[in-house]
Amino acid sequence: MFTKQRLRQSRQQGAIALMLLMVVGLGIAGAILAGFSRHALEVYREQQTQNVLAEAKKILLAEALSKRGNTVPITRPGEFFCPDLNIPGEAAYGQSGLNGAACPGAAARIGRIPWRSYQAAELRDSSGEPLWMAVADGFQERRNTPLNSDTAPAGANPWFYAAANNGTQALSDAADPVIVVILAPGAALNGQNRSTAAQQRNANNYLECNRLTVGGACLGAPNNYANYNATQGRFLNGPRLDANANPTLNDRLITIRRSELLAPLEKRAAQEYQQLIQLWAVQAGAGALPNPASPADPGCADTAAVNSNACTPSPAVCRGHIPKSIALTGVGLLPVLPEYLVNPANRPATMPSQAAWQNVLLEYDWLYRNRWEQMFFYAVANTPNCPAPIAITLRNMQTPAAGVNAVMIGAGVALTGQTRVTAADKAFLNNYLDPVSSYAAAPDINRRAWDAVPPQIDQYAKLGLADAGNDRLYYRVANQWTYAPKDRP
């Protein structure tokens, strides 16, 4: 009897232990699954935010690069809309600026992305907050200054700098600085309030800095990053966590660097100049190209207000600057010279009216308004004053089967040692074109046409793989322009 009772008790205890083990196991499994679920949700939300940041970058870049050159008021291809300083619920929300105002100051160059101005759907991060943006000085809309490969922030305004991993990982460098930062603010952190209109207009309630002092201010440069401060221009990608793994900075960001804007913008300028040159050759030049402007022409080295004077084709010059676009179109200039495309005698037969023809030509105005003539070297070999035996020869590449009748070289941004500030700087070809070290016979081959009597006149070379330059060489055979890209691995 005793044995049976003991056996029964032992079985009951075993069953209880088994049940307890199952309960504990289920709890552990539940905790593990909950952890996996939280992690999976965090990964999903992070990817969602990264996706909208990437999409916003595409939208902002595409709009800046596709801006028309013939608009009223004058816009500059390559500029970005001012951030939206209006708040949700206001009639002007989604439009650039505060009630449409310009944004010359640093405080006005950071705000929400103006989706109505971009004619796009509003993008929000995974917390549901609209994205923000900051624009470096000189690249915002409604600036009456040229925007080209030499554009830089004015005065004390900085290029933007961005970093990640608590500042240990640089996302930009001095050779290719940031011009636009797109930010996902994330959910509100301790101390951030987003209820009232004043709070919603305050960037500090959405964006953070990396290290706060006791008084609530960010530590001084160079160690600090403040995502709400365009004056400082130092941005940090989150997260940044405190000792208890709580976020003190949860912004996420993506950047638009100078090369991502100016390289394709210069390529567009080159293509539109080539279209204009071809149009001039057909309609006004009897098949011949316009002559270059003289490198000694002071109008090709303007530093003050943009004007329509000078930098015109020179009959005695076969290599120099590409002329100002208005010197070819003549739109708005008096008297109307025979060589101007706007002259009614040069209007294509297919153009329905003089007004329509003038509107076509106005599309090229942005080139001279932004001083793109300063960015291009231009040489010809088929004008009445530059005939054979002038022969343009190309090096570092396969020689075209037919004769080359023109060359354009885009200078790109100034590299170390190149200065393009004064008129004297702009008259020195070495400040624009780079050495071609891979062409050992004459590394300075592209720099010879202005500054000295060249021993190998009218010879030009494209950049090789090991060359550090950023020039872009284009050449014309018959009526076709071709880009000769720098060698790639």
Report pLDDT digits (tens) over 49-82. 999 999 999 999 999 999 988 766 677 999 999 9
C-alpha to C-alpha distance for 129 and 199, rounded to whole angstroms:
14
Cβ-based burial of 18 (10 A; exposed 0-12, middle 13-18, buried ≥19)? exposed
CA 392 → CA 289, 324, 368, 395, distances in Å?
14, 23, 27, 10
How far from chain centre, in Å, is Cα 397? 30
* Residue range 317-341: mean pLDDT, rounded: 95
Give long-range contacts, CB 8 A cutoff, 24+ apart: 26-35.
Answer: none
pLDDT tens digits for 219-256?
A: 655 558 999 999 989 999 999 888 888 888 999 999 99
% of the chain surpassing 70 pLDDT: 87
C-alpha to C-alpha distance for 82 and 112, rounded to whole angstroms:
9
Neighbour count for residue 442 (Cβ, 10 Å): 17
Q: Evaluate if residue 16 carries a pLDDT over 70.
A: no
C-alpha to C-alpha distance for 82 and 136, rounded to whole angstroms:
10
Task: Record the pTM.
Answer: 0.89
- pLDDT class for 218, splitting at 50, 70, 90? low
Predicted pLDDT of residue 166? 85
Say whether 320 sits in a helix, a strand or coil. strand
Task: Give strand ranges (E) for 35-131.
Answer: 110-112
Predicted pLDDT of residue 389? 57
- Given a contact cutoff of 8 angstroms between Cβ atoms, the answer to whether 371 and 305 are in contact is no
Domain boundaries in the chain? 44-250, 261-484
pLDDT tens digits for 442-467?
A: 999 999 877 555 555 789 999 999 99
Both tokens assigned to 54: 């990437």
* Residue range 31-44: mean pLDDT, rounded: 68
Predicted pLDDT of residue 99? 84
**Gyration radius of the chain's alpha carbons:** 31
pLDDT tens digits for 356-397?
A: 999 999 999 999 999 999 999 999 987 777 765 568 899 999
Both tokens assigned to 101: 């105002």
pLDDT tens digits for 150-201?
A: 999 988 899 999 999 888 899 999 999 999 999 999 999 988 999 999 999 9
Give long-range contacts, CB 8 A cutoff, 24+ apart: 50-54.
Answer: 50/252, 50/254, 52/123, 52/124, 52/125, 52/131, 52/184, 53/125, 53/131, 53/182, 53/184, 53/252, 53/253, 53/254, 54/254
